[in-house]
Amino acid sequence: MGKVKQWAMDNAEKFLSNLESQIESGAQTVQSALLLCECADIAWNLIGFDHMSEVEEYLEDVRREALRDN
């Protein structure tokens, strides 16, 4: 994998991980996280998301899991 592609993939993973943490802590809602996702220059396809609806479903799952654990 090229260096730029690896950088983009790492950037996407870090961005998503940050959103997961914020949603789990309650600092961010799924809808506000989605607004950030839509504005960010992230190569979602490099981490398995082809459409923003898939990102939304994933973040909803993160929220549900966080609620279940609390």
Q: Into how many domains does the chain fold?
A: 1
- For residue 48, report the phi and psi dihedrals to the nearest 5 degrees: 95, 10
Question: Residues 47, 12: contact at Cβ < 8 Å?
Answer: yes
Q: What is the pLDDT of residues 22-50, one digit of tens each?
A: 999 999 999 999 999 999 999 999 999 99
Q: What is the pLDDT of residues 43-60, one digit of tens each?
A: 999 999 999 999 999 999
pLDDT over 80 at 1, yes or no: no
Where in the sequence is the domain holding 32, given as residue range(s)?
3-69
